[in-house]
Amino acid sequence: MKAQFHLALPCTDVNQTSDFYTDHLGAKLGRKSEKWVDVNLFGNQLTFTEAGNFSFDFKNYRLGDQVLPSFHFGVIVEVDLWGKLYAKLFQAELEVTTEAVFMQDKVGEHLSFFVKDPNGYMIEFKSFKDEAAVFKV
């Protein structure tokens, strides 16, 4: 059985958020109202609800030589799509981290980059060297 995730998050402006996910990430919109929208992000449902000002303290952690945001979500995609997304977002002059290889030469080796959405959420895009290693210990 294929399972999809649903993640509900507050946003400051539902239209600006919708535009970011459709224009920059190529996501499709689902149901929506004046104050909320469902976004289809690679078959997964993100629901953004306009909640006014909110605050997150982006604490970091270290993985190897990289400092990463501890609060983030992401999508695992094939390497070709990963490269296309990275190039597209980088050329759009968005806040994109430099591409990096994590866990090199170990189980779980993957390419990764982060982009910040208009609400300050960090979205990670990963592409695993070995797709079977996503949950391998």
25 and 76 inside one domain: no
Q: What was the pLDDT predicted at 125?
A: 94
Taking the C-alpha atoms of residue 117 and residue 56, their distance in angstroms, rounded to an integer, is 13
75 and 44 inside one domain: no
Taking the C-alpha atoms of residue 54 and residue 12, their distance in angstroms, rounded to an integer, is 8
Enclosing domain of residue 72: 60-133
Q: Does 119 reside within a domain? A: yes
14 and 43 inside one domain: yes
pLDDT tens digits, residue range 62-119? 777 777 776 788 899 999 999 999 999 999 989 898 889 988 998 889 999 999 999 8
Q: What was the pLDDT predicted at 61?
A: 66
85 and 124 inside one domain: yes
The band of 1, judged by pLDDT with boundaries at 50, 70 and 90, is low
Q: Does 1 reside within a domain? A: no
pLDDT tens digits, residue range 28-67? 999 898 988 999 999 999 999 888 777 666 567 677 777 7
Q: Does 70 reside within a domain? A: yes
State the total domains in the chain. 2
Q: Does 55 reside within a domain? A: no
Q: What was the pLDDT predicted at 67?
A: 77
